[in-house]
Structure 1
Amino acid sequence: MNAAVTLVRLRWALTWATLRKSAWQTVAYVLAAILALGAIAGTISATWTVGSLPPFVQAEDGTASIAILGQSGIVRMTTVLVGAFVTLVIGLFQLMILGEGSTMNPRKFALYGIPDRQLQFGILLSGLSGLPAITGTIMLVVWSFTYRSMGAITVIAAIIAAPLAIITMMSLSKLLIAL
């Protein structure tokens, strides 16, 4: 655990050093933070709109069934498909844009003799402490309130699943880079 915390501290020390050194990167980081806040605000707006849709429709025999062909069902199916697409894009983006050029590359730490398990955990934590992962986690937690009409258990399950989804996306992207 100590090595993992050290790697997170190293990542942020490198980030702050880069921001102090380059005015353009500081401006880009501030713009990224503004875009992240805008994405969170957009998610809140979409959550309110989609959450207002009825989760169930009445069948002709009077029983309630899940809205498969209704507006709510299409939106919820689209949510799953968009989530799968975003997971794929995140992995490919990491692979094609960043690739092996990342500062937190496991090969760069080979000289220090950190056990692989601690090294991978530390690199994963350092990736999860960045602006994209934090923004994604907040957006997914906010999106979980879309399911408020389905009950409290559904919302709680979605809140628990939000960080797990971000950890899965980050793990898959690190896996693709390592391959």
Structure 2
Amino acid sequence: MKTFEARLKPLMIAGLDGEAQAWRAFLQLLRPALHAYFNRRQFQGDADVEDLVQDALLAIHAKRETWRRADPVTSWCFTIARYKLIDHLRKSGRAKLVPLVDDHVLLNDGVEDGAVRQDLAKLLEATPPRQRRLIEDVKLSGYSLAEAGERLGMTEGAAKVSLHRAMKTLMKRVADREH
């Protein structure tokens, strides 16, 4: 079975090369994935979800020339979708936190997995190496605090304090980006 990325990318490339039928097929294939993405964020009704799907599809259509062919198309699309979601929540006045990282997405390969990993990688780039390693070991790889601390030559207590500070800093960065 082909991955979602493997099905979308050739259609995107063909669409960019002027094949209208391929572009329509790309948008039709992407539509249910966007619907699922927005629906998982548990909106009150389908109207919000449908509006968001349409907004995202229009933005993807309008910005398609900005996509770089070497990059994953799913990451690019779901980054646009995420920003449309944030814009929608701001405009509607809803104070809902849109998590940068959904645990189930990191554990299971979802269609927006690439976008989430890309955002996470950008956040972690600015994190000091020891703290980044702790986050990766404990939060992403499943090591215990004792194991992660040992790998870095730290006590479990020191690892716990360092990880707490790192997570607090990351959450502040996320909040700053979204305001």
TM-score if structure 2 supplies the norm length? 0.32
* Bigger proportion of residues as helix: 1
TM-score if structure 1 supplies the norm length? 0.32
